[in-house]
């Protein structure tokens, strides 16, 4: 389905249903101070057609998981360690920001397709485990999709959309 083949049930093995590595901190030494380690159908072939997947999210102090959406999944997340601000924005016309600061053991839901983010608001690292309601949820990082596409979206369009000078758009595009 969607390019992933199904194995013969008679020959599947435990390794087709498992993955190792969610205990390993992702490398957060990057511009946004965060990393996501995924266990989706790409890593676990046995997930095909089963409608779920899991990820680990690491955030260095003040790191962010920048605004993004999952085109095919709702996300549910729990904080394993640290203090994490989370938020999603409701669709037009309200565009309400629904946000909360989560502590260890708190759970939060990001409904399918809505833009959401996470930010470490503590002094230590944040570790979170999240699950998604698709074996192949997809991720769209808004900044990359808008300002870092290949090729670029025309700067005229973005200048008008974000109500800024075209030069600012081009400056941002240059960074992505």
- Would the annotation count 23 as a binding residue? no
Calpha distance 114→13 (Å, rounded): 36
Run of H or E residues at 24? none
- State the nearest-atom distance from the C-beta of 29 to its own copies, in Å: 14
- 81 annotated as belonging to a binding site for a ligand: no
Q: How far is the CB of 61 from its own copies (least distance, A)?
A: 13
Of 53, 52, 51, the closest CA to residue 22 belongs to 53
Nearest distance in Å: CB 30, its own copies: 11
Q: CA triplet 19, 23, 27: central angle to 5 degrees?
A: 105
Q: Is 116 annotated as a binding residue?
A: yes
Of the pair 27, 168, the CB lying nearest its own copies is at: 168
Rounded least distance, CB 131 to its own copies, Å: 3
What angle in degrees, to the nearest 10, is found between the helix axes of 155-162 and 166-175? 110
Closer CB to its own copies, 27 or 171, in the complex: 171
Q: Which is nearer to its own copies, 31 or 123 (CB)?
A: 31
> Rounded to an integer, what distance in angstroms lies between the CA atom of residue 128 and that of residue 76?
10
CA dihedral 96, 97, 103, 106 (to 10 degrees): 40
Binding residues for oxalate, by number, are 65, 70, 75
In the annotated binding site, the residues are: 65, 68, 70, 75, 116
Binding-site sequence positions for Mn(2+): 68, 70, 75, 116
């Amino acid at each position: 389905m969607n390019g992933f083949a199904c194995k013969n049930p008679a020959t599947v093995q435990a390794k087709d249903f498992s993955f190792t590595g969610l205990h390993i901190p992702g490398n957060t030494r990057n511009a946004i101070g965060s990393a996501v380690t995924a266990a989706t159908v790409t890593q676990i072939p046995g997930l095909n057609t089963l409608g779920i997947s899991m990820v680990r999210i690491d955030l260095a102090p003040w790191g962010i998981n920048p605004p993004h959406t999952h085109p095919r999944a709702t996300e549910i997340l729990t904080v394993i360690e640290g203090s994490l601000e989370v938020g999603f924005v409701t669709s037009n016309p309200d565009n309400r920001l629904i946000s909360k600061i989560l502590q260890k053991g708190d759970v939060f839901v990001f409904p399918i397709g809505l833009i959401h983010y996470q930010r470490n608001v503590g002094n230590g690292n944040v570790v979170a485990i999240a699950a998604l309601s698709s074996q192949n949820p997809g991720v769209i990082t808004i900044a990359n999709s808008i300002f870092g596409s290949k090729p670029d979206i025309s700067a005229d369009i973005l200048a008008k959309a974000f109500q800024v000078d075209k030069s600012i758009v081009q400056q941002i595009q240059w960074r992505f």
